Every structure is written in C-alpha cells, then in structure tokens.
Structure 1
C-alpha cells in the first residue's frame, strides 16, 4: 500500500456491506488480480447486461455484498435475483454467481485488525469465525433465500455447517454428441464428417423427435408469456420465465448465441428448449473443443412426451452444430431418468463429487425447485 493511501487510513476494521455500482472498478480490478485478465474482461463485457438490464432487479445497478478495508474492496459476493415463485407466489431469493477473496489484501487486513484490537483502538467488526466468505453470505444483503450451482469444495465444507443443503435429484449431466469437429480438424472437414457419420452412432442414442419441434427465431413473444402463466404454479418452486426474462437471458447477452426450439400445442405453446454451441478455447496442453449446453427446458411437469421430443431435437441440433460434448443441468428424478436414457452421465468435479444445486433457507415446500442450466450464472 502506498504512503498516500496509508496517510488517509479511516480505520483498520474490515467492513461488510451491500455492494453498489460505485464498487465496479475495484471489483473488476480484484477479479483480474485473482483470476486473470480473461475472466475479468468477460465480466466487464457482461456488466451492463447483467446488472443494468435484468428485468428482475428491483433497481438497475450492481447487486452483491462486498468486504472493504482501508477503502479497498478485498472480497465480494456477486448475486443476481432468482425471480423465485413458490406455489405460484413470488418469494425473494438470490443466486450467488461469483465469490472472490483477495487473500493478499485479506491477510493484511486481518493483521491490521488484530494489531488495532491489541492496541485497544479497533472496532468490533464483523464475525469472521467461519471465514470471510461465509461472513459475506451471512450479511442480510445476500438475501433471505440463497441458491447456487457449481459450488467450490472448500465453500461446501464451510457452508454445509452454516445452513447450505444439497437438493436431491439435481445435478449436471453430460454426454458425447459428435466426433465431427475433432476429426474435421485432423482430416479436413469433409473427410472428417464422413468418418464421424460412421463413429457417432457408437457414442450413444441419437433419438429423433416424435413430435413436430420447430426453431423459433426472433424475440420471445406472447406465447411464452402464456406458457409461463399456465405453468408457474404447476411446479412447487420455479424461477421466472416470462417473455421479457427469456429475451434478456437468451437474446441479449453480448457473448451468447442460442437456438430456441418450440413445440406447439392445441392452445399455444406446449413447451420450449434453448441450446447453445460454443468454442471452448485451448488451455495449456489441452486443445480447444466444441461444446454445447441445453440451457433451458420448460413443459408441464407431467408432459413426458413433450420433454422427450424437445430433448431429442436439442441433441440433433447440437450434433448438426458439430458439438463434441453437451451438458445439461436437471432438477427432478423423472428428468434425471430421461437424461440417462438419452445417454447422459453425471458430471463430477476433480474430486469425483457431483455438481448439484445448493440452497440456504429454502422452505420445505420449495424443495421440488425446478431450475435449469440457464438459471443463475448459466453454469
């Protein structure tokens, strides 16, 4: 820390508070220092879309919890509104999408705090007995109901002692789709595609949709509003999915190109599915790959034929887009079984643990929460 910053030191106490738009420069700086320039640039490119235009926000602007010391942001918990409906009624809940702790600054802050208290001049400060990260979650601004996916193992071990619980029959599944992309890069696109046509059937089932699934181009329209109105109370708990939210989530992101598949019914939409294909860049010795995600899927809970048709169409779409491997997040035992029949297997982390949905303070009546890959940060 420079002498100029030290000279205007207001206090040696760590403060935890609601994050605001004014914290943006420091949050991005800490992210670059901790995670590197590429993730920081991605967050910066998404900032206005995520925290200015999200229709679920009570007011535009960054929403999260920050820890500060000496006027510096030393940790932050980024959150986005869930738009949660429990039994068809709105309930305040927040997805946590990023947890960042700058350990270099935190160690300095803790040493200064201890020294100030020993000297008799330090304020009490927040309770850090469970660590700074959990202190962020314990702040009222983190929300009464907290939801998260792809939670780090260290945070799970602490959070499970502080009220976070894994929801059963949830998790990430994945499966191989096509070898066209890697074979095309090795042998040339045309020869690779020909060989892939022979190899791909061995990767797993490639079902054809038995119902007329169509591609929907353009904005989400009133049919999606009508489907949401019809189904929002059909699930014990579900996150908002009206046309305005879907348009913001899948049509407006600066770095997302989606294909929307729809299935018509007698009185409007019977269901829809959203898929995305993207290039996963090379990292170290690992070459780049073509990946896919099934981001969203909505039908009536009991409409298994519609779900099956939409998922079959999603797999066919991703195969045409030369995706090597696809991922899908599911909630519910029936959907999990359907994904298994379609060749999906559980996705696990480096420790062999499955990636499930974690919740804190979620009412018992909402334990059947329905969420997809596109909910939360999309991971």
Structure 2
C-alpha cells in the first residue's frame, strides 16, 4: 500500500464521508455532514486557507483509510490567548492498522498545530502522543448520580461497558438471564428515594436558573471576572458558548444562567440524552462567580431538580478538586478518571504548561467529549 498523508480540503468530504460510514458503522449517522461542518468548517476558532479543513487523512489512491481531526479552539496561557486544537475522531480502518498510519497522521498535525490537547482517548492514541513527548495533564474526574434504576437499564449499561471485554460481557449476559439487574434495582431504589428526601429537605438559597436562547454580555462579564483563577483554560466567553451549545446541530442543549437578585452569578448547560443513548442527564458545563462552591452547590441541586425522574442517572465531569468534593457531597460517585495529554514543541509554552498544569478548568464542554454514545 502506498499512502499519502495530507490535510484535507472541502472537496475531499465525499471520500471522508464514505470512510466515516465504513469506519464507524452504527455511529456514522451521528458524525454526518451537519456535525462535520459545524465542528471543522464553521468553527469560528480555525482559519481555513485554500479550502483546507482541520482534518488530516491517509489516502490509498482516492480511498480514505485513516484520519485524525482537530477541533480548533483557543487556549488562555497565563496572560496570552493562543490558537490550539483538540485531537478528535482518531480512526484507521481495521484492515490498515499496525502500519503506523496513526503515528504518521499525528506527526503531520503536530507540524502544523502548535498546541494539541486530547482529553479522552484510546490507549493507542495515548501511545502516539507519548511518542511525540506529550505532557500528561492532571486528571479529569467523571461522576454519576443515580436517580431511578430498572433491570433493563442495568443490563444495557453493563452490556455497553463490557462490549469490548468478551469474558465480562458473557458474565453480564448470564447475570441478565438470572435477573441480577431486577434484583439490584429493587435493593438500590429505596436507598435512592431516602437520599432524595434528605436532599429536598435541605435549605435552598436564593439562586434561580433562567433558561436563555443564547449567552450574552452578562456571560462575558462573568467570565472576565473569574478567568484569572485559571492560568490555562479554554475561555468560556459568549462566542465560544454559543458556538458550542447553540449552534451545535446534533445535540439538544438547554442553556441556563444562574441569577441572584437579577444579577448573573453563573451558568449551566444541561442535556437529556437522545433516545438511542442510555436515559441519562448530562451536566455539560457549570461555571459560577468566583467559582464559589456555595453557588455551584445550589446550581447543582437546581440542575438535579430540572432533570427530575425523566433520567435514570446524571453525569458530570470536572478537573477541579474542590468541585469534585462538592459533587460527591450531593450523591455523585466517581466512575472514571481521564488523563489528558498536551503535545507542544515550543519550549517556552511547554514550560508554562508544566508549571501551571494544575490550574486547568476542564469539563464535558471541552474536546468533543459530549457526543452520542449508543447504548
């Protein structure tokens, strides 16, 4: 096989679309043209000279056999804002794996994009990043809070989590036939009801969540007031939030500002999972004035109330230890720890990233973490 590795252009989309269908199978409809254009073409943070798009492809003749895409973004590094990119959609066709295609694609991207960050990744992608001398960033913790369970849901969840582990998957199927999910739900649901009763009896503050069609100047003012708390962060200004949560063509995001006596003191973005996913609620991003734990705590309770009993569980993620401790006090338990990587050749920037590596604000708003996950 003679491969060509290069950056894609708009006119390559039909070949890329054929690759997506072949590579992603049942997930392909959720990586279609509308999402592709939003993420890579209409993204306001990336320039597209000569019709180029931030997608690097491996071509065998005219057939795309592998790709790595970059979701353009901006990163505030201490007192400077730098262009950067999230590594996303890393995929090589099974018949072409083992020949170093992924490594060649990643290396080609690193020559063009000065700062490359990856939040969630497969082990193979991590190995490629480490080969390029990546800095490993502090953990981002993923949490879940159960609402109401049933046997079918428990079976679906365990089947999804063990899909690529045949031995465990077999045990899950055996447990499903034995009624494990039903028994587990019967035992756990009374405990969840008791927890919720205690939560509802707790005193609430003065915060109100107000749904908005888009984020505005008050959100910009909020972000300017707290951005100094983070040496390294993707700016949460209205331009980013509206592209991310208003313009996204696939997800049904609900956008709220938190107000106290009419003053905006925070915002939160919520999503109920699509019907093809597990029936979950997702707290995608949550920011408060001075990142005050008291305000965040009230916003979290209001978000839990908003989901109500329409979901079986609620997901949340954060890189901030104080926020992680707060959500645990509200009945969330940690399910995973993710260890992002950052590839950057500039020695000055590498030193800044290393020196301030513990001051990142990361959530499900970053990367392309929040996307359709089939169950």
TM-score of the superposed pair, with normalisation by structure 2: 0.76
Count of paired positions: 322
Instruction: Give the match's secondary structure for 2:53.
Output: coil
Counterpart CA distance in 2 for 1:210 and 1:377 is: 33
CA-CA distance at 1:277 after TM superposition: 0.5
* Cα 1:137/1:266, change in 2 over 3 Å: farther
Higher helix share: 2
Distance 2:304 2:107 in 1: 41
The alpha-carbon distance between structure 1 residues 161 and 301, as it changes in their structure 2 partners (threshold 3 A), is farther
Alpha carbons of structure 1 residues 334 and 41: separation in structure 2 relative to 1, 3 Å? closer
Task: Quote how far apart the aligned CAs of 1:261 are.
Answer: 2.7
- Aligned pair partner of 1:330 in 310, 318, 329: 318
* Superposed CA offset, 1:44-92 (max 9, x none): 2312222232221224863122222323322111111121111242122
1:291 aligned residue: 280
Q: Mean Cα displacement is larger for which, 24-33 or 173-182?
A: 173-182
Q: SS of the residue aligned with 2:229?
A: coil
CA distance in 1, matches of 2:136, 2:332: 21
Determine helix, strand or coil for the equivalent of 1:98: strand
Deviation at 1:330, TM superposition (A): 0.5
Aligned partner of 2:106 in structure 1 is 137
Q: Secondary structure at the match of 1:247?
A: helix
TM-aligned CA deviation for residue 95 of structure 1: 0.5
Give me the whole-angstrom Cα distance separating, in 2, the residues matched to 1:267 and 1:313.
17
CA contact (8 A) 1:347 1:355 kept: no
Partner of 2:206: 211
- 1:14-93 map, 5 Å: 14-59=3-48, 62-93=53-84
Structure index of larger Rg:
1
Aligned equivalents of 1:180, 1:206: Cα separation in 2: 22
Q: CA deviation at 1:223?
A: 0.8
1:255 aligns with 2:243: no
Deviation readout 1:237-257 (Å, 9 max, x if unpaired) = 111222122112112222222
Q: 1:301 to 1:15 in 2, by over 3 A?
A: farther
Tell me the equivalent position of 2:95.
104
How far apart are residue 31 of structure 1 and its match?
A: 1.6
User: Unaligned regions of 5+ residues in structure 2, if any?
Assistant: 154-187, 345-349, 371-375
2:222 paired with 1:231: no
**Equivalent of 1:201 in 193, 212, 218:** 193
CA distance in structure 2 between the partners assigned to 1:181 and 1:90 by the alignment: 49
TM-superposed deviation, 1:289: 3.2
SS of match in other structure, 1:343: coil
Query: Structure 1 268/89 Cα, relative in aligned 2: closer, same or farther at 3 Å?
Result: farther
- Tell me what 1:8 maps to: none
Contact persistence 1:262–1:310 (CA under 8 A): no
Deviation at 1:278, TM superposition (A): 1.6
* Distance of 2:325 and 2:252 partners within structure 1: 28
Structure 1's 223 and 22: CA in aligned 2 closer, same or farther, altered over 3 A?
same
Cα distance in structure 1, aligned partners of 2:307 and 2:11: 41
**Does structure 1 residue 342 correspond to structure 2 residue 312?**
no
Q: Deviation of residue 36 (structure 1)?
A: 0.7
1:317 aligns with 2:306: yes
8 Å contact 2:258–2:264 — kept in the other structure? yes
The residue number in structure 2 matching 1:4 is none
RMSD of equivalent CA atoms: 3.0
Distance (whole Å) between structure 2 residues aligned to residue 70 and residue 52 of structure 1: 24
Question: In the aligned structure 2, how far is the partner of 1:149 from the partner of 1:39?
Answer: 22
Q: 1:19 to 1:78 in 2, by over 3 A?
A: same
Alpha-carbon distance, 1:98 to partner: 0.7
Corresponding residue for 1:125?
Answer: none
**In 2, distance between residues paired with 1:41 and 1:276?**
16
Supply the distance in 2 between the matched residues of 1:102 and 1:96 (Cα, whole angstroms): 18
